[in-house]
Structure 1
Amino acid sequence: MYKIVLAEDQKMLLGALGSLLDLEADMEVVGQATSGDEVIKLIEEKQPDVCLLDIEMPGKSGLEVAKLVNEMDQRPRIIVLTTFAKPGYFEKAMKARVDGYLLKDRSIEELTTAIRKVVDGEQVYSQELMVDFIREKNPLNEREQQILKLIATGMTTKELTTTLYLSYGTVRNYVSEIIQKLEAKNRLEAIEIARSKGWI
């Protein structure tokens, strides 16, 4: 019997998914959580075989949970189940070493098949996400992502120089490079593009 913990902040979807998985002869939902902090406690208590994680949840995100789960001695398999077909999210999920990444528009049959596969040691990723990921690699390096995130919070160039201990000219060069790499007209458009792809 595969023990499963679910993490999803939409309660109706959480309940429906739990009921459908419980109908499977070889599966049992042993815990349901609506936040990232809650799911970590459940994993520690219930020791599931598989954890299904949404990405955007209150508290810790699904990707933050995945990173913490990887540090556990008894690590369950992790499948990210999301509505976000963003190549940047998929890239972050790969770095968090998830075992599966599926979109929520998949059938319950596809999900149960994926659960069985990851328990057997396979990795299961949505095909279209892999194609998008290969086609749309994040052009920004870590420093550029950091700077764009700070700009998105409303920081000025002067504030960035103080926060990052960089000269005014260096920050301006970074910003110029970011705008150029994203083929944006200005900072605001650069933020919009990066967010839409899940790169920041």
Structure 2
Amino acid sequence: MIRILIAEDQALVRGAISALLSLSGEVDVVAEAENGKQAIALINEHQPDMVLTDIEMPEMTGIEVVEHMAEHHPNIQSVIMTTFSRAGYIKRAINAGVKGFILKEAPSDYLLQALKSIQQGKKVIDPELAISALDDNDPLTDKERKALRLAGDGLKTSDIAAKLFLSEGTVRNYLSEAIAKLNAANRIDAARIAQQKGWL
């Protein structure tokens, strides 16, 4: 029996995945989270064998959850399930030690089989996605990425500085660097480009 935690912000999708896996008789869904921060709290509480997470969620993205797990819970296997096949997402997830990358449109029996394979120590990542990830290099630093994501949400420099505990001058430098690296017209354009690439 695989003890699994599901992190997915859409209640309908989360409920469907949970019901589907529970019906198999081979998976015990120990907890469900609607955002990344809640997922971290529930991981600490339940210590599941595996975490199945979406990427784009409020509070913390699925990639950030996986990165946190790699640092604090390396024994818990992480699997990403998403509708986004962006190369940047895949590369960051692989670098963080994700064991599986499954597209939501995959058949339900494929999902169950993938989880069982991962439990046995295998990696399950679509070959085409893995190849596209290897061909796509993210030029942004972690701090540039955080500043750019907040800028993309419409925050002013002063608000970004307050959220990241940095000076406004430092934030402006990070945003300028990101704009230059992405050959963007401005911070909003840079955020859009990085979002499309899967780097945010």
Shorter-chain TM-score tier: 0.7 to 0.9
* 8 Å CA contact retained: 2:91, 2:133: yes
Structure 2 vs 1, CA of residues 72 and 138 (structure 1 numbering), >3 Å: closer, same or farther?
closer
2:170 paired residue number: 164
Deviation of 1:121 (Å): 1.1
Q: Specify the alignment match of 2:7 in structure 1.
A: 7
CA distance in 1, matches of 2:59, 2:156: 22
| Contact 2:36-2:59 within 8 A present in 1 as well | yes
2:32 is paired with a residue of what secondary structure?
strand
CA 1:180 to 1:130, structure 2 compared with 1: closer, same or farther past 3 Å? Answer: same
Quick check: 69-78 or 81-90, which moved more? 69-78
Distance 1:180 1:58, change over 3 A: closer
CA contact (8 A) 2:179 2:190 kept: yes
How far the C-alpha of 1:165 sits from its partner, in A, is 9.1
Residues 70 and 25 of structure 1: is their aligned pair in 2 closer, same or farther, counting only changes over 3 Å?
same
Counterpart amino acid of 1:34? E
Aligned to 1:195: 195
Deviates more, 1:55-64 or 1:146-155: 146-155
RMSD: 3.2
- What is aligned with 2:17? 17
Give yes or no for contact 2:7–2:52 (8 Å, CA) kept in 1: yes
Matches within 5 A, 1:113-124: 113-124=113-124
8 Å contact from structure 1 (residues 31, 46) kept in 2: yes
TM-score, normalization by structure 1:
0.77
Structure 2: which 5+ residue stretches go unaligned? Answer: none
Please tell me whether the aligned partners of residues 91 and 134 of structure 2 are also in contact (alpha carbons under 8 angstroms).
no
The number of aligned residues is 191
Partners of 2:74 and 2:141 lie apart in 1 by: 33
The amino acid that maps onto 2:80 is V
Task: State, as a whole percentage, how many aligned pairs show the same letter.
Answer: 35
